[in-house]
A and B are shown apart, each in its own frame.
Chain A
């Protein structure tokens, strides 16, 4: 198991969640696409989050060395904060 690839895959998955969340509110067509996966846009986001996480990990194992640095983990923490704030601010502004 490649820990660096795993952390980076988690970063991609969390970025995807924020992009999909905001994108689905701004684009009816994108929301409809997500709805077509599983019958509800939230289910579509959930499924694609898992899929992107796994696929990103598999792809990144080919490019990443497997030495985990604190910088990788701090990047993940940073992405969680950034994505979380983006979602929060978006919904406050669009309430």
Chain B
């Protein structure tokens, strides 16, 4: 049974990442309407990543540390915690910073993005970075889930 917090964390985070992919697509060839949609997408994306931060953080502190981590660390795949989870939990912290920066740039520049190439390319780069980094983090989450399942099955064998 999947813990509801992990389901919330994963679903909301992935929605947030797709929101920033949406931002990237909208600013590649901007019009006023596309910039307006990009601002909405960035705000939604930031909100989703903040929810993912809290949901994932609550799960990590209250559940993972006492129930999941000991199982993984006692198994043959202890590296899933000591490398993958440790990297994931810290690199994740980059995302809200990048998301807030990207959303703020979109709000600040607004229709000036039509004429300001530096600002437009900056927003596009940051949105793309959030998407790529976020999906690398999601992949780490999948490895951790798989590692836990492996450790549980090994323990029951």
Identify which of A13, A17, A40, A68 contacts B61 (C-beta below 8 A).
A40
Given contacts A10-B98, A21-B90, contact A80 B60 (CB under 8 A): no
Of the candidates A50, A70, A74, A92, which one forms a contact with B83 in the assembled complex, judged by CB atoms under 8 Å apart?
A: A92
The reply to whether B94 and A83 contact each other, CB–CB distance below 8 Å, is yes
Given contacts A3-B105, A17-B94, A42 and B87 within 8 Å (CB-CB): no
* A80 B129 Cβ-Cβ under 8 A: yes
In the complex, are the beta carbons of B108 and A1 less than 8 A apart? Answer: yes
- How far is B53's CA from A70's CA once the two chains are assembled, in angstroms? 29
- A18-59 interface (Cβ within 8 A of B): 18, 21, 39-40, 42-43, 45-46, 49-50, 53
Given A17-B93, A76-B126, A80-B94, check contact A6 B86 (CB 8 Å). Answer: no
Least CB distance, B32 to chain A, in whole angstroms: 20
Which partner residue on chain B sits nearest A94 by CB separation?
B82
Q: A68-B118, A70-B121 are in contact. Are A43 and B61 (CB under 8 A)?
A: yes
Could you pull out 29 A-B pairs where Cβ atoms are within 8 angstroms? A1-B104, A3-B105, A3-B108, A3-B109, A6-B101, A13-B97, A17-B90, A17-B94, A39-B61, A42-B57, A42-B60, A42-B89, A45-B93, A49-B97, A53-B100, A69-B118, A70-B122, A72-B122, A80-B94, A80-B98, A84-B91, A84-B94, A87-B86, A87-B87, A87-B90, A88-B91, A91-B87, A94-B82, A95-B78
Question: Hey, which bits of chain A sit against chain B, CB under 8 A?
Answer: 1, 3, 6-7, 10, 13-14, 17-18, 21, 39-40, 42-43, 45-46, 49-50, 53, 68-70, 72-74, 76-77, 80, 83-84, 87-88, 91-92, 94-95
Besides A17-B90, A80-B98, 4 more A-B contacts (Cβ < 8 Å) are A3-B104, A3-B119, A46-B93, A76-B98
Top 3 nearest A-B pairs (CB, nearest first) are: A73-B122, A95-B82, A21-B90
